[in-house]
Amino acid sequence: MPVNRNALIRYRTIDKCLQNRYRKWTLDDLIDACSDALYEYEGIDKGISRRSVQMDIQMMRSEKLGYNAPIVVIDKKYYTYEDPDYSISNIPLTDQDLGMLNSVVDILKQFKGFSHFNGVSEMVNKLEDQIYTSRQHTAPAIDFEKNEDLKGLEHLDVLYHAIIDKQPLTITYQSFKAQQPGDIVFHPYLLKEYRNRWFLLGVNENRKQVLNLALDRMLHIEKSAVPYLVNELFDTQTYFKHLIGVTDSRSEVMDVHLLIEPVHAPYVLTKPIHPTQQVVEQTEQGTVISIQVKLNFELEREILGFGNNIKVLKPRHLVRAVKRRLALALEQYDVGNAAERSMISEGQAQLKKGEVKSHEEVMKKARKILKK
């Protein structure tokens, strides 16, 4: 039985209300909640009739949509779920639903081998796993990478429509470095995901350069009345062609050569660091690959993630940058040794002057001070 969009909004609104056990819900309360939801999502401001909500409740109670919602009336006035854990979002898929999904999966699988439909593969796997789990009542066989605690995802829909509608926004934003949040008038052009974090690319009022704002640092978003600045700075389809991550250093594209140790080389060859990756040569020392990218922080972090299994060969600027970061990292672990060496050196000078009696006394004194 087909369900129109407005009815679905009402069902989900009633469901959300009845899940809230901290409030008692009269029929008038449910009518108001449904009216507010229809105005928010569809712009319908004429309200909703009492009879419509009563019929919605009867439909949710029935088997017609597969809900069988345990809606009861308390004190002949207040509506609630008899089962406090019930939600229409938790009902299992019907055999008809599973059959339709199977057909969709079969169709989508036809495109899995085409490069233009690379993104379909993951979606097909998710659908197949959902169908199998629903039919067999077993635990999922696939666990996709996700971050349940990721902040800012609630902004995705608003930002997506702002890009489509060419709508400027006033965004209350607080970077990790800022002590206080501030408002930015922002003209959005593109949403980008990188390592389970989402970023919004666009410009502020000065239009001098492309900025990226992390969604998890956005505190509030509202529409701005300023005229929209059309994107004239970058091509959204090619902007990330020579980038790792989201930060454009505005430098030239560089030919980066990396030496991968033999044991680790297969991992890099089967999971390239960047789409431009090419094998330059294979030697006893390892495999040399090249990537054509702009130098930025994300590239350095990617290289550092391989630890001692990778070596930057060129360009020299990147060699120096990675070497400097490794030296600073080493200092984090060498602070105690350096302090001890300094104290021992000072103690040996005292030993020569006769201020201490033995080498053992020097070592004992140094370690005692370091333990404090």
**Helical (H) or strand (E) element with 292:** strand 286-293
- Integer CA distances (angstroms), 227 to 164, 187, 201, 294, in order: 15, 9, 18, 33
Model confidence at 129: pLDDT above 80? no
Fold for 153-223, please state it.
SH3 type barrels. (2.30.30)
Cis omega before residue 315 (within 30°)?
Answer: yes
**Per-chain mean pLDDT for the chain:** 82
Q: What is the mean pLDDT of residues 104-117?
A: 56
Are the beta carbons of 57 and 79 closer than 8 angstroms?
yes
Fold for 254-314, please state it.
Alpha-Beta Plaits (3.30.70)
Please give the full DSSP string across 57-111, using - where no structure is assigned: HHHHHSSTTS----EEEETTTEEEESSTT--GGGPPPPHHHHHHHHHHHHHHHTT
Domain 5-90 coded CATH 1.25.40: no
Domain boundaries, the chain: 5-90, 95-136, 153-223, 254-314, 331-370
Are the beta carbons of 199 and 152 closer than 8 angstroms?
no
Interval 130-185: pLDDT, tens? 655 555 555 656 666 666 667 888 888 889 889 999 999 999 999 888 889 999 99
Query: Minimal CA–CA distance to 125: which of 101, 148, 149?
Result: 101
311-350: string of b/e by CB count within 10 Å (b at 16+)? bbeeeeebeebbeeeeeeeeeeeeeeeeeeeebbeebeee
Kindly state the percentage of the chain with pLDDT values over 90: 47
Interval 283-294: pLDDT, tens? 889 999 999 999
What is the value of pTM for the model shown? 0.56
Please give the full DSSP string across 185-235, using - where no structure is assigned: EEEEEEEEEETTEEEEEEE-TT-SS-EEEEGGGEEEEEE--SPP----S--
Q: What is the mean pLDDT of residues 303-331?
A: 90
Task: Grade residue 52 by pLDDT with cuts at 50, 70 and 90.
Answer: very high
Amino acid at 112: K
Query: Minimal CA–CA distance to 345: which of 337, 57, 300, 17?
Result: 337
Are the beta carbons of 37 and 11 closer than 8 angstroms?
no
pLDDT at 176: 85
pLDDT at 1: 41
